[in-house]
């Protein structure tokens, strides 16, 4: 005789199997999560679904964290310092080729094999770095000042270290206070190398500064380029909060005589709207006399910067607060005008109210950020420049580059979303289409050279290279659909 209760349980089990596998697929597909699941579930509900219904994901996360901790124990927090002092070569092997969906592109992933970077910016491990290209060489600079160059090779990138004096400006004293205190960008032009960093102007008082040098593949000796006296105290300041990650630091070239430079406000939000402050700005700096002027203000933490010489405008990507990452386009035709991007008066995000960065003396009654910084959900209504694109929730937007200036095709990276975004602008500078390309790694930096896109992938401290030659016509076609 058939047990009705047992039969019912068995049938329910059979029905549930496809549902479980479908839900697993959804949870692992970030595009569908954003377009479907998040419409019905909050972040906390999604975490509980992952934790209790599909615990295998939590187990994998714990295993990953455990591996990271073991690496940290094995190599130690002084790993990068030892690599730099010993001047050993760094090896990255091309042992993984990943087909990127919807694009006909392939990512060649060069994983670290020997003497690799372990010190990160957002996380202590794995490592963070920036990438540039110069005289047919790939130039790599870690967040702690390991500088090296490598010839491009299909199988192995061997970075020979370049001796430098970066440690005279930022070193273990700052790094051990927090991994957030670090180098912020690398830029090479006309035989000069520029790098930005969080500068401890005086004890526990910070800004973002630039040093530069004549570039040499054997040794570079940096000297100050832009090092203002203004700083934000990390222990005591006006808003009683401090965030070292909110420091900007991107460098690009405006013309043969001038560079442009983004600065953050270290969460001292009022500085972004203060014309007399160098913080929360895009600055134009003369290469020869080092005099500067403000091009744009009202910025929180610009992590991407590119000047389009063909179309004569600046593209910048901006980290919003909790939501509201932005792409902004700043026309250069009126050089006397200071463009205002609105932070912290306008933003499509929200303030962090449960801040880890609160300093002693913070109180909700006195320091509730909405009392001074309302974050209106419009820019143009309050006289500010409207972004051409904003992302809510935030994607952790990072560096931006042009793929084709003539046809107005660009690409930017992301950290949190672990993706590239390829987009095209219309004649009116509106985004025609924005194509998300999943990389499944935090992308700290991107640089285009010789029709290749070079990426630093900080989830695994790896280098990615995408050859754009074979798929350019296809990408252009799908962006026009």
pLDDT digits (tens, 9 = 90+) for 86-100: 999 999 999 999 999
Asked if residue 31 is part of any domain, the answer here is no
How confident is the model at residue 335, as a pLDDT? 62
Q: What is the Cα 122 distance to its own chain's centre?
A: 10
What was the pLDDT predicted at 15? 59
Q: What is the CATH number of the domain that holds 470?
A: 2.120.10.30
Q: What mean pLDDT is reported for the chain?
A: 88
Chain centre distance of CA 32: 23
pLDDT at 296: 97
- More confident site: 357 or 191: 191
If you average pLDDT over residues 459-467, what whole number do you get? 96
Q: What is the pTM of this model?
A: 0.85
User: Is 90 exceeded by the pLDDT of residue 380?
Assistant: yes
Q: Which residue has the higher pLDDT, 116 or 206?
A: 206
Residue 479 confidence (pLDDT): 84
Predicted confidence (pLDDT) at residue 410 exceeds the cutoff of 80: yes
d(C-alpha 360, C-alpha 240), whole Å: 7
Residue 115 resides in a domain: yes
pLDDT band per the 50, 70, 90 thresholds, residue 337: confident
In a domain, 168, yes or no: yes
What local confidence, expressed as pLDDT, does residue 463 receive?
98
Enter the DSSP assignment of 355: -
Residue 117 has pLDDT above 60, yes or no: yes
Please check the confidence at residue 333 and state whether its pLDDT lies above 70. Answer: no
Task: Give the phi and the psi of residue 473 in degrees, each rounded to 5.
Answer: -60, -40
φ, ψ of residue 425 to 5 degrees: the values are -105, 145
CA angle, 291 then 181 then 371, to 5°: 80
Residue 86 in domain: yes
Q: Of 399, 231, 427, whose CA–CA distance to 315 is shortest?
A: 399
The pLDDT tens digits for 126-158 are: 899 999 999 999 999 999 999 999 999 999 999
The pLDDT of 206-213, averaged and rounded, is 98
Is 228 a residue whose pLDDT tops 70? Answer: yes
> Do the domain assignments include residue 7?
no
Q: How many independent structural domains does the chain possess? A: 1
Place of tokens 């032009």: 189
CA of residue 464 relative to chain centroid, distance:
15
Q: Which pLDDT does position 371 carry in this prediction?
A: 95
Domain extent for 468: 79-479
Q: Which residue has the tokens 């299909």?
A: 154
**pLDDT above 80 (res 418):** yes
**Tokens at 239, concatenated:** 């808003």
Q: pLDDT > 90: what percent of the chain?
A: 75
Residue-level pLDDT at 36: 40
* Pairing mode, strands 452-457 and 443-449: antiparallel
DSSP string, 378-415: -SGGGT-PPPSEEESS---EEEEEEEETTTTEEEEEES
Residue 22: pLDDT over 50: no
Residue 38 falls inside a structural domain: no
Domain assignment present for residue 60? The answer is no
Structural domain contains residue 11: no
Three-state SS for 51? Answer: helix
**The predicted structure's pLDDT at residue 332:** 74
Is pLDDT at 382 greater than 90 in this prediction? yes
**pLDDT digit string (tens) for 49-84?**
554 555 555 455 455 545 544 554 444 447 899 999
Taking only the tens place, the pLDDT of each residue in 238-281 is 999 999 999 999 999 999 999 999 999 999 999 999 999 999 99
């Amino acid at each position: 005789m058939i047990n009705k209760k047992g039969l019912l349980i068995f049938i329910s089990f059979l029905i549930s199997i496809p549902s479980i596998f479908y839900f697993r697929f959804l949870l692992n597909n970030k595009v569908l999560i954003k377009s479907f699941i998040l419409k019905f579930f909050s972040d906390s509900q999604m975490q509980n679904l992952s934790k209790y219904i599909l615990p295998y994901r939590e187990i994998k996360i714990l295993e990953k964290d455990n591996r990271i901790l073991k690496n940290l124990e094995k190599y130690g927090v002084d790993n990068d310092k030892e690599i730099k002092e010993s001047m050993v070569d760094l090896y990255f092997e091309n042992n993984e080729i990943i087909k990127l969906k919807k694009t006909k592109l392939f990512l060649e992933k060069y994983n670290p094999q020997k003497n690799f970077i372990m010190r990160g910016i957002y996380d202590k491990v794995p490592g963070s770095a920036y990438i540039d290209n110069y005289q047919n060489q790939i130039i790599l600079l870690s967040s702690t000042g390991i500088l090296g160059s490598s010839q491009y090779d299909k199988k192995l990138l061997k970075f020979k270290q370049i001796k430098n004096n970066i440690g005279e400006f930022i070193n273990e004293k700052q790094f051990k206070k927090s991994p957030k205190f670090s180098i912020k960008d690398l830029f090479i032009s006309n035989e000069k190398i520029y790098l930005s960093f969080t500068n401890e102007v005086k004890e526990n008082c910070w800004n973002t500064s630039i040093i530069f040098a004549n570039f040499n593949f054997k040794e570079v000796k940096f000297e100050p380029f832009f090092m203002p006296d203004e700083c934000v105290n990390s222990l005591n300041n006006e808003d009683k909060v401090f965030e070292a990650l909110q420091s900007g630091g991107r460098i690009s070239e405006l013309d043969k005589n001038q560079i442009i430079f983004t600065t953050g406000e270290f969460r001292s939000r009022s500085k972004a709207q203060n014309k007399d402050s160098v913080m929360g700005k895009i600055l134009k700096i003369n290469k020869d006399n080092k005099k500067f002027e403000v091009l744009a203000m009202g910025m929180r933490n610009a992590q991407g910067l590119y000047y389009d010489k063909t179309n004569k405008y600046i593209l910048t990507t901006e980290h919003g607060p909790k939501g509201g990452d932005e792409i902004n386009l700043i026309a250069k035709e009126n050089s006397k005008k200071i463009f205002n991007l609105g932070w912290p008066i306008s933003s499509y995000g929200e303030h962090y109210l449960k801040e880890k960065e609160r300093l002693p003396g913070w109180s909700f009654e006195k320091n509730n950020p909405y009392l001074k910084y309302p974050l209106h959900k419009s820019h143009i209504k309050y006289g500010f420049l409207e972004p051409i694109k904003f992302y809510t929730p935030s994607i952790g937007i990072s560096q931006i580059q042009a793929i084709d200036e003539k046809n107005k095709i660009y690409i930017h990276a992301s950290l949190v979303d672990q993706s590239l975004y390829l987009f095209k602008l219309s004649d009116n500078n509106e985004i025609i289409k924005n194509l998300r390309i999943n990389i499944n790694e935090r992308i700290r930096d991107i640089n285009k050279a010789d029709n290749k896109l070079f990426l630093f992938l900080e989830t695994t401290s790896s280098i990615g290279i995408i050859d754009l030659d074979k798929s350019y016509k296809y990408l252009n076609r799908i962006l026009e659909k």
